[in-house]
């Protein structure tokens, strides 16, 4: 059975901020203007937007193999999706820095590189363009009762950023320095509290809480 280039797409969240998953080194990278994205990169035992199902055992093997590339700083990816089974260094836009399991979801972090393609990717993300993360690999498939199953010969090559997301509910998110998510949650809670106090018609308490919110937003 011949191997084909298998590509799967996962949606990139437009400018969202997820939980703080950054190491101290990554926080310094972001503080200096760098960009790190995190979220779902693949999914096991579920039919994706291209109609294929990746068995958990196969993805576990490939994730474990891919971790070796990550440790060696060789887990590069490209902007757009070339019809190629190798990663072209001249087109590299990002480097995957971590990958792990969350249930049947393969999660990961990608650092945007200071390369021509990386600068384009960064500009697109910061402009709110809807992008996707996509796995690229070689393998064959078989049909089983109307389902397309990826075979054991699958070989994961890389993860690329693309403009054609096809899987709903899978998001890559922009990572911040680590405090913005907490501030957002506190602000939302304080806004709800203001609504309650407004019903009590207590201007003094409303003014105090408004001051706290303004300080949080300004980072004071």
Q: Give the closest residue to 156 by CA, choosing from 7, 28, 30, 2.
A: 7
Kindly report the average pLDDT of the chain as a whole number: 78
Q: Give the whole-angstrom CA distance, residue 73 versus residue 201.
A: 59
Lowest mean pLDDT among 67-76, 137-146, 186-195: 186-195
- 124 and 158 both lie in a single domain: yes
Amino acid 14: pLDDT: 42
Q: Which phi and psi angles does 18 have, rounded to 5°?
A: -100, -175
Q: Give the whole-angstrom CA distance, residue 195 versus residue 201.
A: 10
- 13 and 57 both lie in a single domain: yes
* Residue 174 C-alpha from the chain's centroid: 7
Percent of the chain at pLDDT > 90 equals 36
Structure tokens at 148: 């397309």
List the domain range (segments joined by +) for residue 130: 4-174
Confidence bin at 67 (pLDDT 50/70/90): very high
> Which residues are bridge partners to 156 per DSSP?
137
Q: Give the whole-angstrom CA distance, residue 217 versus residue 127.
A: 21
Amino acid 133: pLDDT: 84
Amino acid 1: pLDDT: 57
Q: Which residue has the tokens 């998110």?
A: 173
**What are the start-end ranges of the E strands in the chain?**
4-17, 36-43, 52-53, 76-78, 92-102, 105-112, 131-139, 141-144, 147-150, 155-162, 172-174
- 32 and 112 both lie in a single domain: yes
- 48 and 67 both lie in a single domain: yes
Q: Give the whole-angstrom CA distance, residue 207 versus residue 214.
A: 11
Confidence bin at 170 (pLDDT 50/70/90): very low
- 106 and 122 both lie in a single domain: yes
Q: Give the whole-angstrom CA distance, residue 213 versus residue 178.
A: 18
Contact between 73 and 170 under an 8 Å Cβ cutoff? The reply is no
- Tens-digit pLDDT profile for residues 180-204: 444 455 555 556 655 665 666 666 6
Count the domains in the chain: 2
pTM greater than the 0.75 cutoff: no
Amino acid 183: pLDDT: 47
Query: Residues near 104 by Cβ (< 8 Å), separated by ≥ 6?
Result: 43, 44, 45, 46, 56
- Tens-digit pLDDT profile for residues 5-60: 776 656 554 443 344 567 788 888 788 888 888 878 899 999 887 889 999 999 99
- 93 and 140 both lie in a single domain: yes
- 23 and 123 both lie in a single domain: yes
Structure tokens at 131: 């992008």
Confidence bin at 179 (pLDDT 50/70/90): very low
- 61 and 136 both lie in a single domain: yes
Q: Which phi and psi angles does 216 have, rounded to 5°?
A: -65, -45
């Amino acid at each position: 059975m011949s191997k084909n280039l298998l590509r799967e797409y996962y949606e990139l969240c437009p400018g969202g901020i997820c939980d703080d998953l950054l190491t101290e080194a990554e926080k310094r990278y972001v503080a200096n203007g760098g960009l790190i994205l995190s979220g779902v990169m693949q999914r096991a035992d579920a039919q994706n937007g291209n109609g294929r199902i990746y068995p958990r055992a196969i993805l576990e093997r490939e994730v474990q193999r891919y971790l070796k590339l990550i440790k060696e700083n060789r887990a590069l990816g490209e902007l757009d999706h070339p019809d190629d089974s190798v990663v072209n260094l001249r087109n590299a836009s990002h480097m995957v820095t971590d990958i792990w399991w969350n249930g049947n979801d393969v999660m990961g972090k990608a650092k945007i590189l200071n390369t021509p393609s990386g600068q384009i990717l960064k500009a697109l993300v910061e402009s709110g363009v809807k992008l996707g993360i996509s796995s690229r690999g070689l393998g064959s498939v078989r049909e089983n009762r109307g389902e397309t199953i990826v075979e054991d010969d699958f070989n994961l090559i890389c993860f690329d950023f693309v403009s054609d997301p096809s899987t709903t509910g899978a998001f890559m998110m922009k990572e911040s320095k680590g405090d913005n998510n907490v501030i957002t949650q506190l602000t939302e809670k304080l806004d709800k509290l203001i609504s309650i106090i407004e019903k009590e018609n207590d201007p003094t308490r409303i003014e105090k809480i408004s001051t706290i919110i303004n300080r949080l937003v300004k980072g004071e």
